[in-house]
Amino acid sequence: MYLLSYQPYLTIKNLVSKRDKSQLFLLGATILIPFGFYIAMRIVWDKMKYGIVLRSIGPVFLATVLVEVIIFSFFSYWFYRVIKKK
């Protein structure tokens, strides 16, 4: 994770060139799992507290979505750069 934040191009290029599928899977999981976990916990909390899943999502949900979009965009950009140079 440190190298991804410090040298994303070289790290992703190394993963793609070695065709290290397990590391690429872990990278994808690192991007998507926190958002999925938050959604699941939101559903559980709403069911326990209110008995239904609320329609209003609130500012925390919007902040979570914004952070996930930023992270996804960052990694998508660097993947695009690596794939484009090949």
Per-residue pLDDT of the chain (86 residues; tens, 9 = 90+): 666 677 877 777 777 778 877 877 877 787 788 878 888 888 887 778 777 766 777 777 778 778 888 888 888 888 888 888 76
What is the model's pLDDT at position 86?
A: 64
DSSP conformational letter for 19: T
> Which residues span the domain enclosing 59?
2-85
- Rounded to whole angstroms, the Cα distance separating 39 from 45 reads 10
Burial of 74 by CB count in 10 Å (0-12 exposed, 13-18 middle, 19+ buried)?
middle
Full-prediction pTM beyond 0.85? no
- Rounded to whole angstroms, the Cα distance separating 27 from 11 reads 11
H or E element that contains 47: helix 21-50
Give the count of domains, the chain. 1
